[in-house]
Amino acid sequence: MTGPIPAAWDARLLSVLRIVAAFLFMLHGTQKLFAYPASEPRDPAPLLSLMGLAGILEVFGGLLLLLGLFTRPVAFILAGEMAVAYFRSHAPEGFWPILNRGELAALYCFLFLYFAAAGGGPWSMDALRSRPKTIR
């Protein structure tokens, strides 16, 4: 043990980070698709719109990420969605993410790139699928 957290927990904490981030990300999608949870009354985004497509990616991509199923390709796609969201909606409002309200999109983008490289960790459906099959 070299630090405050034993090395054996590194991979487990990757899984915890993936699960929490995916759950929080899914809430953005449910706001777009179902207007829930909403701090103010609003209509759901039409499915055949950019906001509708973003909501679909966020809910269903977030669910796959939450489960850790197809983590690497799903995370890569979601990182791309967040990059598009940042450069389309936030960057035109100014350079600094804290001022253009794009820090969350930028953070999710790089977090998802990390998951695309690192995978889902041991507490994922991907880890279950890659276990060697045993014959009883």
User: How do residues 73-110 score in pLDDT, each as one tens digit?
Assistant: 999 999 999 999 999 999 999 999 999 999 999 999 99
Q: Which helix (H) or strand (E) holds 102?
A: none
Per-domain residue ranges of the chain: 9-127
First to last CA, the chain: 37
pLDDT at 133: 77
Contact 131, 125 (CB under 8 A): no
Q: How many residues does the chain have?
A: 136
The whole-model pTM stands at 0.91
Q: Which two tokens stand for residue 94?
A: 């100014």
Is the confidence at residue 136, as pLDDT, over 80?
Answer: no
